[in-house]
Every structure is written in structure tokens, then in C-alpha cells.
């Protein structure tokens, strides 16, 4: 019987082109969960807007965009029964869920064009105060791309009813981000997010082309 991991590996090894790899992987994500597919692209939109507001180089914007699209690719290894219960997980279920960070990075570790994306994917659940996972990295020891994706991910999971059983209004989601600034999240990244939102560079729910967001934020 062909396993999900074998199918994933077959799709990955068919190409060394990053765009093709992402398309193939996201097809699998969409087959598992259309909601997760939408979430992944929304996070990429928000992450690129933040990165552009921070005036990172365009090459880094692209890395962050690709990594953000794939940030939850490890969910392919998490049973649907566990994902359906997030955030109400038992200790054992939480351990299974947390492994998605490493699982996602392991999927890409032998693909040369994905190497720069792996740290952003592996560490997007690290926290600025060192209380995250999988390595309990702290502060600037967490790659900047991962810190940016962490903020974008939290925001979308707060406002997007596709990703949990309730949705917060935008103002409450932003307030919570600010309350967690310096603990869960990098204050500089949160500041860039808030400024980008204040300038209309971050849309609330409707996905926008990441490139156009970047161009607007760089003005």
C-alpha cells in the first residue's frame, strides 16, 4: 500500500523546480483540507506584507512567501481526528500535533531548492521568550522569517473561522498580538504588522496577490 509519505516523496523528486514542488505539495494539502489550503495562502499574504513593511530584500520576501505557503505542510502527517480537535488536545495529541514542524521540514530536507525554507518552516511555532517548540529557541536565535510567519499564522488563526471553532474580530486579534509582543512574538515584527494594517496593506480575510502587497508596502 502506498503511504502518504511515499506519495509526497514521489511528487517532490519529480522536480527540482520550487514552483512545481509547491504546487504538488499544495495539491496534497488541498486534498487533506481545503481549509488548511486557504489558511496557508492567507498566511503567505500576511507574512509578505509584514516582511515588505520591514523593508527586507525582495529575495527574502520570496523565501518568506514560499515558506509561509508551506509552513503547515507537516499537517499531512497529523491524523484528521487530531486536527479537528485543535486547540482542545490531550497531552498525547498535543505531542503528535507539535511534531508537524519537524515533519514538514523533513519532507524537504533532500530537496536542494528548499533548503533556505526549512528553518522558517521548522521554527514557526517558536516563541520570542523561548517557550515555543520544537527547540525552545529564544529571541533573535529564531530565524526572522519564522518570527514573521508566527505573527501571520497567529493572526489568521484568530480571524479565520476556517482554522478553528470560532473567529475573533480584527480589532481583538490585533490587540492579542500586541499583548503577546515580547513574549510569544518579536516586538519588531508585531510593530510592522500593526503599521502595515494601519496603512491598509493587510487585508482582513480576502487573499490578495503577495507581490502587489509587497509593492504597496515598499512605497
Closest CA to 127 of 183, 188, 69, 84: 183
Question: Residue 208: CB partners within 8 Å, gap ≥ 6?
Answer: 45
Distance CA 160, CA 33 (A): 14
pLDDT of residue 10: 59
What is the domain-level CATH number for residue 158? 1.10.3210.10
Distance CA 38, CA 30 (A): 8
pLDDT of residue 4: 54
Please determine, for residue 84, whether its predicted confidence score (pLDDT) is greater than 50: yes
pLDDT digits (tens, 9 = 90+) for 4-44: 555 555 555 555 688 988 999 999 999 999 999 999 999 99
Number of domains in the chain: 1
pLDDT digits (tens, 9 = 90+) for 114-148: 999 999 999 999 999 999 999 999 999 999 999 99
Q: What is the residue whose three cell numbers read 522569517?
A: 145
* Structural domain boundaries, residue 125: 4-217
Point out the least confidently predicted range of 63-67, 127-131, 135-139, 166-170.
166-170
Please determine, for residue 210, whether its predicted confidence score (pLDDT) is greater than 70: no
pLDDT of residue 22: 92
Strand-pairing partners, residue 181, are 185
As a whole number, mean pLDDT of residues 33-60 equals 96
Q: Return mean pLDDT, the chain.
A: 87
Long-range contacts of 23-29 (CB under 8 A, 24+ apart): 25/70, 25/73, 25/107, 26/69, 26/70, 28/4, 28/76, 29/72, 29/73, 29/75, 29/76
CA torsion sign, 150 to 157 to 208 to 41?
Answer: positive
Please determine, for residue 217, whether its predicted confidence score (pLDDT) is greater than 50: no
Please determine, for residue 204, whether its predicted confidence score (pLDDT) is greater than 70: no
CB count within 10 Å of CB 165 equals 10
Please determine, for residue 207, whether its predicted confidence score (pLDDT) is greater than 80: no
As a whole number, mean pLDDT of residues 49-55 equals 97
As a whole number, mean pLDDT of residues 152-178 equals 86
**Do 129 and 147 meet the contact criterion of CB atoms below 8 Å apart?**
no
Amino acid at each position: 500500500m502506498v503511504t502518504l509519505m511515499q506519495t509526497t516523496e514521489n511528487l517532490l523528486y519529480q522536480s527540482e523546480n520550487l514552483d512545481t514542488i509547491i504546487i504538488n505539495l499544495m495539491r496534497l494539502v488541498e486534498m487533506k483540507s481545503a481549509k488548511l489550503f486557504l489558511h496557508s495562502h492567507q498566511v503567505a499574504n500576511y507574512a509578505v506584507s509584514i516582511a515588505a513593511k520591514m523593508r527586507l530584500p525582495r529575495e527574502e520576501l520570496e523565501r518568506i512567501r514560499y515558506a509561509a505557503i508551506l509552513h503547515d505542510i507537516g499537517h499531512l502527517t497529523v491524523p484528521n481526528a487530531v486536527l479537528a480537535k485543535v486547540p482542545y488536545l490531550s497531552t498525547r495529541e498535543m505531542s503528535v500535533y507539535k511534531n508537524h514542524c519537524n515533519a514538514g521540514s523533513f519532507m524537504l530536507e533532500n530537496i536542494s531548492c528548499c533548503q533556505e525554507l526549512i528553518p522558517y518552516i521548522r521554527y514557526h511555532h517558536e516563541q520570542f521568550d523561548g517557550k515555543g517548540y520544537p527547540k525552545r529557541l529564544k529571541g533573535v536565535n529564531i530565524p526572522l522569517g519564522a518570527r514573521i510567519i508566527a505573527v501571520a499564522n497567529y493572526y489568521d488563526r484568530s480571524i479565520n473561522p476556517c482554522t478553528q471553532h470560532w473567529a475573533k474580530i480584527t480589532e481583538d486579534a490585533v490587540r492579542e498580538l500586541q499583548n503577546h509582543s515580547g513574549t510569544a512574538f518579536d516586538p519588531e515584527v508585531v510593530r510592522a504588522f500593526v503599521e502595515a494594517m494601519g496603512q491598509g496593506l493587510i487585508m482582513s480575510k480576502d487573499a490578495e496577490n503577495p507581490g502587489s502587497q509587497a509593492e504597496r508596502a515598499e512605497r
